[in-house]
Structure 1
């Protein structure tokens, strides 16, 4: 019972979002880039941006100091001094312009490299052997991985660059201008109702208090944006998946005249997305009251703060303008959190989705090793051994009628079943994709085994690539490819080796199966396990396939899981897949953890 409870807990943790704190999520991202090939270039780019920001901040300090002689020349109506200061301004502005252009280029290149490193890592982790299949059966987090791999990776890379460099720039500006502002307000004495007192650097403290209050209110009002953004992205991915599903099956939908029903189903996804967006809009509107309110007050706030020193005669008009500029720079740096709270919430939501996806992908290996029931081993000799094999299906248990089934090298074996039994479960169990059940599956050691699913897969590309998959387009010569097509009755394709298309749409069902067996002939595996691929073939195509198995793959061991009426004396041994009345089906919590 305790073991069952542990299994449920493990499955649930992977089926949903992996919960982790911000530091843990940042550590995951840091690990990704530390082992990434783009690491060194990223470090150089970040150092380059850091250097540019330092020089830019120094230029902005000079520009702030320029305010004093410029505005003083205006107040004195000193035209020659005014012209001199304009020339100084154009010199400083020219340098800052070059720096801004260089920083923009580095920002965009950093975005590019961040996305490259993150996307390649996520795709690499996802496409580790059998991980993608396991994840697809791991509950909500395994649905629509394309959203995580494409859109979320892009969004996180771009926002991390913008927010990271923005925070760096704000921090350096704060350090640069806080001393300027302190100088303007040092030594000033307040006289209030006969009392005199001084607050060293009071303008600095005023800017800190002003920005801190705005940041606190922004966090208080806008913290729920993190959850709302995460929910919105989830709903977006669900709608996108529904649209892709309808597009993939539009021929069948049209034949059934099911457009109205699909419209209704997609309507539910649209309604769900709109509801999530409405919550987001409400939260953003509430946050705008804070950010915009402080934005309007900021127009007069620095003047009000500097006014006592100016009216006391301790500042010239140029000094007042410089003090206002310094206050705004300090305030803007401190207010970075307020200005970017919505973006930070969006970034946090995207960070959670990306890191939870990566953790869930990696957790599939651990989870399946913990929850696995069928034991997978290497056989001691060159044979497949299915010993006391039971497979737990979603609503029942099925088993091999033969207690210990042995498939020896060179044999042709048919595994058939009672009506209504999902034979694909046995195929997946032998391939190691379905862990639920009992007994042992032993496969030959270090042997070339090819598993042929019921529906053949052809990658988009040329016919040459489809036939050679997965060894690459140069794996076989033209003569070998054409010979395989000829033997399987696909002579019309012999001139199309370099034609690029989606072959699952270009070919009929029989032609697709025949092409899959042409690929089988080319690869010549020592062992072949076939899932019902022969059952639906027309007689001519079936005879060509059996001829290939007999003449060209005579030394290969072939196991076909399918109907007994398609045997035609091809398979000498027959095994039986039957229901197990004493068994029980998977519970919902267990099924999510497959």
Structure 2
């Protein structure tokens, strides 16, 4: 028997190690793609019940086998893997080192095959001198092989870490560019079964409610839908990328090793027995064919497993995030049943996978055992006839095993390759969706390309948007709301007729705006024209569902379904206050400063902005960068908390020490009431000092007295720094009659039209008829 022949148990161990390195691919992929096999029972039932496929399937799934599947997979892999090695010199160097180590490994294995041959021949001939000479060579070869193996594994992991760092950084950059993360979330929300309360419908506006009603009954999976639904982007970024980089390296290096081994050991085996060399190809073909036929069901089951595991995790996360509401409703029994139901799907799928793997292991186990017996059975007659030495049998068996392993990658790693295939599809669809949702990158056609940072010269620049409930990036510009931005320190918004009607004080322009629901079946606002002068205070009113919140989203660039043009200041001069403020992870200080950095930025000073400012690193000042206009000390922040009616918050968070409380890290979303969060958001506004504030029922949780204090704070807030340059412009959405006294203009939305009127100074604060008129 050969001394250095890999046994079936060792191969199983190798597969186990591989699973350890890539097991998160099984958790990361939350959908599955049909590979020509029959759909799951749930999918079949859903397809029979509706025109759309099952909701567990991604929208890009077809139920027939696609032609050239291997070519598509290779193309997907290439476009995701090649940019790192093209753009990163360190990555190319690490890859070159890995190739050299792989060649060294193969050379040592060939050396061992000859040493094993001479070892068994010397042992059979009882040649003591030759035996000890060969043993000395064995020791030398092992001393050489050990550092090569250690360096091989270390360098492979080092390259995987470097590749993951680069790829994750690039994907994060693209994910946060142009609010793509928001587009993905809106897309996912538009394709999920969501039950909203009437209060939530009122908060979203009828446009969102209509989108939810339309898209939650069934998924739109028509072939002309250019943007695929992407679920769980967090898992795709954190886990899919890691699995992709690690397994890609493993598989690539395995292929290199297999090619080298195949060439080297083929010469050895052919020189010993040509007929055995030819038989091995037939044996490998039969084994691969049986493995694919029996194990192909694992591809579908693995995809389905990932989706069901994700659904089960999501149900648990939903309970955690809505625990208080569930407790108020006493709905724990309903939630338990729903969670159990999803877990049963997981168990059913695990059982089916276990059965499929059992059937596959029958083939692979017999296949591996035959690799031990077959070469010995073929060479043994020659040995008994005295034509070959015992060492030749050992070398032939070893060469046979190496070649067979090289030809049997599919047999030995089919389960892992199927998971890797799932990961490629999943990661590619995610990156494709990111590209299609980014209007600046869509025309470039490169999955991981980055748009060069263009210098913002203070003029008016266009930002196209595509972030509706079901993004349709292939829309023509005539069917997309165009949002343009300008630097208010350098230029002003144009009027309707830029050539003749210049209005230098205008800060917001809405021109011919047509606002539609995501399915384009209903017009919320039609032909709206609005010119808002700097220092104006506009109140947007209308019946619930008239499109008030959607109009604010259009101004922000988050809603594009419709047509028309919106001209507003660039993002660092606009501040949006939603009804429920966002509380990021971090300290109380972080809550107040968000989203600014903690550094003063003199580049935004009105005395220095000439339209050609650059960052300290030499790059252009990005249009969306928001930095502080002054350095805020701890005392300044504590005084600000008093101004927003939160004088004891810092002391409460710091166990009586307010300065310590500023650095306290808590779960602020659950620590603060909604009213406290809204007051904290007004404190952020004071710190950021924008030119234009957009508020969507930002005082709905405040009493009348607190609401008056917050609006008085707005009126007292200067813009642009310490000196009072002009009044703050703000736009509010709300239903309370008390809001009338804080505004001088009113935009009424009704019957798909908008009507602008002045609010008389002495309007009765409780005139409900006036606020809805």
TM-score, normalised relative to structure 2: 0.67
Cα separation, partners in 2 of 1:375 and 1:328, compared to 1, 3 Å: closer
Say which of 470, 473, 480 aligns to 1:368. Answer: 473
1:101-112 → structure 2 map (5 Å cutoff): 101-112=150-161
CA RMSD of aligned residues (A): 2.7
**For 2:244 and 2:556, how far apart are their aligned partners in 1?**
36
1:168-207 → structure 2 map (5 Å cutoff): 168-185=256-273, 201-207=274-280
* Residue number in structure 1 paired with 2:145: 96
Say which of 454, 479, 494 aligns to 2:579. Answer: 454
* Residue number in structure 2 paired with 1:426: 551
**For 1:333 and 1:133, how far apart are their aligned partners in 2?**
46
Does 2:428 correspond to 1:273?
no
Cα separation, partners in 2 of 1:447 and 1:320, compared to 1, 3 Å: closer
Cα separation, partners in 2 of 1:515 and 1:446, compared to 1, 3 Å: closer
**For 2:341 and 2:516, how far apart are their aligned partners in 1?**
33
Does 2:610 correspond to 1:485?
no
**For 1:369 and 1:573, how far apart are their aligned partners in 2?**
37
| Structure with more relative contact order (C-alpha pairs < 8 Å, separation 6 or more) | 1
Query: Which is worse superposed, 438-447 or 116-125?
Result: 438-447
Query: Which is worse superposed, 101-110 or 538-547?
Result: 538-547
* Residue number in structure 1 paired with 2:509: 385
Give the deviation of 1:31 after TM superposition: 4.4
Unmatched segments (≥5 aa) in structure 2: 1-51, 192-228, 443-471, 485-492, 496-505, 600-627, 651-657, 719-725, 754-773
Say which of 132, 145, 169 aligns to 2:233. Answer: 145
Contact 2:482 2:563 in 1 (8 A): no
CA-to-aligned-CA distance 1:493-521 (integer Å, 9 cap, x gap): 25222222222122121111111110100
Contact 1:17 1:357 in 2 (8 A): no
CA-to-aligned-CA distance 1:324-359 (integer Å, 9 cap, x gap): 112212222222221111111110111100011100
**For 2:269 and 2:387, how far apart are their aligned partners in 1?**
14
**For 2:307 and 2:246, how far apart are their aligned partners in 1?**
19
Does 2:573 correspond to 1:463?
no
Count of residues in Structure 1 that have an aligned counterpart in Structure 2: 553
Say which of 30, 33, 36 aligns to 2:81. Answer: 30
Contact 1:25 1:352 in 2 (8 A): yes
Does 2:185 correspond to 1:136?
yes
TM-score, normalised relative to structure 1: 0.86
* Residue number in structure 1 paired with 2:197: none
Does 2:302 correspond to 1:229?
yes
Query: Which is worse superposed, 344-353 or 504-513?
Result: 504-513
CA-to-aligned-CA distance 1:463-486 (integer Å, 9 cap, x gap): 222222222233442144333222
Cα separation, partners in 2 of 1:146 and 1:446, compared to 1, 3 Å: closer
Give the deviation of 1:79 after TM superposition: 3.5
Give the deviation of 1:308 after TM superposition: 3.7
**For 2:425 and 2:277, how far apart are their aligned partners in 1?**
36
**For 2:433 and 2:589, how far apart are their aligned partners in 1?**
35
Give the number of the structure whose residues are more often helix, by fraction. 1
* Residue number in structure 2 paired with 1:246: 319
**For 1:304 and 1:54, how far apart are their aligned partners in 2?**
32
Contact 2:481 2:554 in 1 (8 A): no
Give the deviation of 1:423 after TM superposition: 3.2
Does 2:524 correspond to 1:524?
no
**For 1:390 and 1:68, how far apart are their aligned partners in 2?**
83
Contact 1:535 1:566 in 2 (8 A): no
Give the deviation of 1:210 after TM superposition: 1.4
SS in 2 for 1:416: strand
**For 1:368 and 1:566, how far apart are their aligned partners in 2?**
41
Give the deviation of 1:309 after TM superposition: 2.9
1:3-42 → structure 2 map (5 Å cutoff): 15-16=59-60, 21-34=72-85, 39-42=88-91
CA-to-aligned-CA distance 1:62-109 (integer Å, 9 cap, x gap): 211112332122223333433332222121112111211111111221
Say which of 370, 381, 390 aligns to 1:297. Answer: 370
Give the deviation of 1:117 after TM superposition: 2.4
Query: Which is worse superposed, 132-141 or 460-469?
Result: 132-141
**For 1:337 and 1:504, how far apart are their aligned partners in 2?**
50
* Residue number in structure 2 paired with 1:4: none
Cα separation, partners in 2 of 1:62 and 1:394, compared to 1, 3 Å: closer
